[in-house]
Structure 1
Amino acid sequence: MAVHLPHLSDVEKLSSRVIRVLGGNPGHVSSNTYIVGTGSVRILIDTGAGRRIWIENIQNVLENEKATISQAVITHWHHDHVGGIKQLLDIAPNAVIYKNLPEHGQLEINDGQIFQVEGASIKAVLCPGHTIDHTAFILEEEDVLFTGDAILGHGTAAFEDLSSYLVSLRKLRSLCRGPIYPGHGSMIQDGPSKVLEYINHRQERENQVLEILSSINFTSNTSLQNVEHRDWTSTEIVRTLYADIADGLLLSAQRVVREILRKLKIEGRVIEINETERWRLNINSMEKS
């Protein structure tokens, strides 16, 4: 079912300290980048995909604000967040680039590290899961959380590692006290509720996968002492979990289900049959619990 997304302005002042500049990348939801601070020197959060419209808008904002960028902090390595670094350095050659697990020419971000300019103190929150290097940022003066792609303005987020992602969501929940400025989509006014919604959604999906794996093959000989749970492929689980899923979304759904299965396997709650991509509930783990 298609999600109807609100229109966002290419440039919008969200508060006295934050200006959002859309990345201009194609697709139904552009990347968000944020200019933060109140003085002649500002911090940039993310750099979009490097589209011309983005860097032109960045230049226009900086000219209007009579400001420059002294440092850019990056949420994660995906191209639509790092693709504009070169263009940024063309207009702000002295800007320092910070990223968790930095690449050449970049500096490391440590958990809890503070980045400061006039009117703004930004605290780094390492939160892997969406990617291994993912980082969120708290604007301390406004209790605003910049979540990158860990939490989106619309829909749910993808992730590389579900276990890490859930730990990070719980960490963000403990720190989130106000609005969320996501890496894509609109500002989320009630940030704490949105983080909890994400946690509950992931737990619900996990429970649904376990429920499917709990299905029993009933025969005339089935008894409480002779319960037989069938094996499932990830595709079969997806087709059951998302009964009316479009073919174009199947691969994405399979990635989510496989990551759930991988987490459950690590926890000993499911068994992969001889590494054949067929999965079965681990009855022994159920008995222990």
Structure 2
Amino acid sequence: MSAIIPKISRLSSRVVRILGCNPGPMTLQGTNTYLIGTGKRRALIDAGDDNTPEYIQSLSSVLQQENAVLEHIIVTHWHHDHVGGVKDVCDLSNNGCKIWKYRREDLDSLPDGIVLNFLTDGQEFLLEGATLRIVHTPGHTTDHVALSLVEEDALFSGDCILGEGTAVFEDLHDYMLSLNKILKLKPSCIYPGHGPVIMDPISKVQYYIDHRNEREAQILEVLRNESDKSFTEMDLVENLYKEVPKQLHQAAAVNIFHHLNKLHKEKKILRNQDDRWQFNEVSKL
């Protein structure tokens, strides 16, 4: 059972979490957005989805209680449940706050009137009581960033690491590099894009790395044991994700596809003309 997350939670003297009020199979309890700083002008990490008036009401009440305005909205990546609410938040703030995101050439469009500023790896945002440092962590998406809260040695992980379950990704190779990058940061805690705060971040990140390596080994084992057959991604999902609800199988198939692509590049498996996958007997040699 998923943890219950309040709509509004003060997580530290510098961090207030506002739940995006958009629960679902892929968003868990909803998108976590975070108000950062202790002074008048603050930053918001992610803006939730669009058409969520309940979220805007929550954010508005927090800004009023904190006597704060938004100076920056920093989006961790292009997915709609993180960037979709930008216009609504801008309309609420009504003070010309800057919108930031890492560049992604094909998916950097925002609603009319919204000007996008592009993040750089290592860039810092100096707020009263808080310093945010950008950490480019591609893999979930090419434009994905995490943010280090320097004063607390904490990390906002976006969708690279979730509070519950594991994440999907666009590029497994890049994703594994990003996980190892986060592991080397040794954060004290992780504030994820979905799910509860992660208080044991090192073991959580290591679990993600081990899980992906284990999944790759499982795929290879299935293909090797039945090397005379070929498989689709969904064949492998049904074989390996028996305990996962059916509504999540399509997302699991995407992850399997990226594992297969990686193994194909390494010449450990073959892809036939029907887009089915088979163990490469030559790889034994």
Q: So what's the TM-score if we normalise by structure 1?
A: 0.89
Task: Indicate which of 149, 152, 155 corresponds to 1:142.
Answer: 152
Task: Indicate which of 251, 261, 279 corresponds to 2:277.
Answer: 279
**Is the 8 Å Cα contact of residues 154 and 190 (structure 2) preserved in structure 1?**
yes
**Is the 8 Å Cα contact of residues 146 and 182 (structure 1) preserved in structure 2?**
yes
Deviation at residue 245 of structure 1 after TM alignment = 5.2
**Is the 8 Å Cα contact of residues 153 and 188 (structure 1) preserved in structure 2?**
yes
Structure 2 Cα separation of the partners of residues 268 and 207 of structure 1: 15
- AA of the residue aligned to 1:256: N
Secondary structure of 1:8 counterpart = coil
String of CA shifts for 1:93-145, please: whole Å, max 9, x gaps: 32000001154511111011101110111010111111121111000000111
Q: So what's the TM-score if we normalise by structure 2?
A: 0.90
Q: Which structure has the higher relative contact order (CA within 8 Å, separation 6+)?
A: 2
Deviation at residue 159 of structure 1 after TM alignment = 1.1
Over 6 Å off, 4+ runs: none
| Match status 1:186 vs 2:189 | no
- AA of the residue aligned to 1:31: T
Structure 2 Cα separation of the partners of residues 80 and 250 of structure 1: 20
Secondary structure of 1:261 counterpart = helix
* Compared CA separation, residues 244 and 103, structure 1 to 2 (3 A): closer
Alignment of 1:78-97 (within 5 A): 78-92=79-93, 93-97=95-99
Hey, what does 2:30 align to over in structure 1?
Answer: 30
**Is the 8 Å Cα contact of residues 5 and 29 (structure 2) preserved in structure 1?**
no
Secondary structure of 1:280 counterpart = strand
Please say which of residues 163-172 and 178-187 is displaced more in the overlay. Answer: 163-172
Hey, what does 1:259 align to over in structure 2?
Answer: 258
Deviation at residue 170 of structure 1 after TM alignment = 1.1
Hey, what does 2:229 align to over in structure 1?
Answer: 230
- AA of the residue aligned to 1:95: C
Secondary structure of 1:163 counterpart = helix
Secondary structure of 2:99 counterpart = strand
Q: Count residues in correspondence.
A: 272
Hey, what does 1:225 align to over in structure 2?
Answer: none
| Match status 1:204 vs 2:214 | yes
Q: Which has the larger radius of gyration?
A: 1
- AA of the residue aligned to 1:24: C
- AA of the residue aligned to 2:202: P
* Compared CA separation, residues 243 and 49, structure 1 to 2 (3 A): closer
Structure 1 Cα separation of the partners of residues 284 and 120 of structure 2: 39
Structure 2 Cα separation of the partners of residues 205 and 249 of structure 1: 16
Structure 1 Cα separation of the partners of residues 136 and 152 of structure 2: 19
String of CA shifts for 1:215-263, please: whole Å, max 9, x gaps: 15xxxxxxxxxxx643333233223223455543332222221111011
Secondary structure of 1:141 counterpart = helix
Structure 1 Cα separation of the partners of residues 90 and 185 of structure 2: 32
Deviation at residue 47 of structure 1 after TM alignment = 0.4
- AA of the residue aligned to 2:259: I
| Match status 1:151 vs 2:161 | yes
